[in-house]
Amino acid sequence: MNAEEGRPTAACPPPTARGLNRVQASAYVGVSPSLFDEMVKDGRMPRPKTINSRTVWDRRAVDRAFDLLPGGSDDAGGEWDVET
């Protein structure tokens, strides 16, 4: 709980940096690092940039890739849809 406001704090606060390391990028989209690696390998997530010796994912590129994943309001339907 946030003592000042009396509400729970976020489990994973939004990143303030544009560049994310592998663990941060995977947490940002809500998957494990190993699943994130698989998603990068199969093209669902962007490839990282290299800055000197660091491997960094651009948060905006991750956002765009996440928007393209199936599901949500843009999905044409699927097995999890509820009929009303």
Interval 8-39: pLDDT, tens:
556 666 667 899 999 999 999 999 999 999 99
Q: How confident is the model at residue 46 (pLDDT cuts 50, 70, 90)?
A: very high
Specify the pLDDT at position 5: 59
pLDDT in tens, 32-44: 999 999 999 999 9
The DSSP-derived string for the chain is: -BTTTTBPPPSSPPPSSSEE-HHHHHHHHTS-HHHHHHHHHTTSSPPPEEETTEEEEEHHHHHHHHHHSS-GGG----TTPPP-
Q: Give the pLDDT of residue 77.
A: 55
What are the phi and psi torsion angles at 44 (to 5°)?
-75, -25
Count Cβ atoms below 10 Å from residue 20 Cβ, excluding itself: 20
